[in-house]
């Protein structure tokens, strides 16, 4: 059986490494870690992930919501937004994204794992 693949879009190196460790430990293939929207778009072009693990605040010109919309235009995929932002404007912008989930930082890894399983089922 093919491993399910996940692209991590996170500009915090320590958090990204902890997500990589968790995902590898649970049998997922990590396609890579992108710290900017531009790198995320390139990574999706190189390999089609089964799921995006997406921070909202990213380094660079685009935030995670904008990057997600661009990716979904080309490749429909479930998205888990992980962020410390929970303001109304961000929530409104996310509301138009089908099939997404939102988790607040700091993320409980058990909740993250069950959310991934739910979206990939």
pLDDT at residue 38, rounded to an integer = 94
CATH of the domain at 37: 3.40.50.2300
pLDDT at res. 91: 83
Mean pLDDT, all residues of the chain: 92
Quick one: pLDDT at residue 1? 62
Q: What is the pLDDT of residues 67-105, one digit of tens each?
A: 999 999 988 999 999 988 777 888 888 888 888 999 999
Domain range holding 24?
Answer: 5-120
- Quote the number of domains for the chain: 1
The pLDDT value given to residue 74:
86
**pLDDT value at residue 112:** 96
Residue 63 confidence (pLDDT): 93
| Secondary structure (H, E, C), the chain | CCCCEEEEECCCHHHHHHHHHHHHHCCCEEEEEECEHHHHHHHHHHCCCCEEEEECCCECCCCHHHHHHHHHHHCCCCEEEEECCCCHHHHHHHHCCCCEEEEECCCCHHHHHHHHHHHHC
15-72 pLDDT, tens digit each: 999 999 999 999 999 999 999 999 999 999 888 999 999 999 998 899 999 999 999 9
């Amino acid at each position: 059986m093919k491993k399910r693949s996940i692209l991590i879009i996170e500009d915090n190196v320590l958090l990204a490494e902890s997500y990589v460790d968790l995902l590898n430990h649970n049998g997922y293939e990590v396609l890579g870690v992108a710290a900017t929207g531009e790198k995320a778009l390139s990574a999706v072009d190189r390999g089609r992930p089964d799921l995006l693990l997406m921070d909202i605040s990213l380094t660079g010109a685009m935030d995670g919501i904008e990057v997600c919309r661009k990716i979904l235009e080309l490749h429909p995929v479930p998205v888990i937004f992980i962020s410390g932002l929970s303001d109304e404007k961000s929530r409104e912008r996310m509301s138009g994204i089908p099939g997404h989930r939102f988790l607040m930082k700091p993320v409980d890894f058990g909740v993250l794992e069950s959310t991934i399983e739910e979206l990939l089922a």
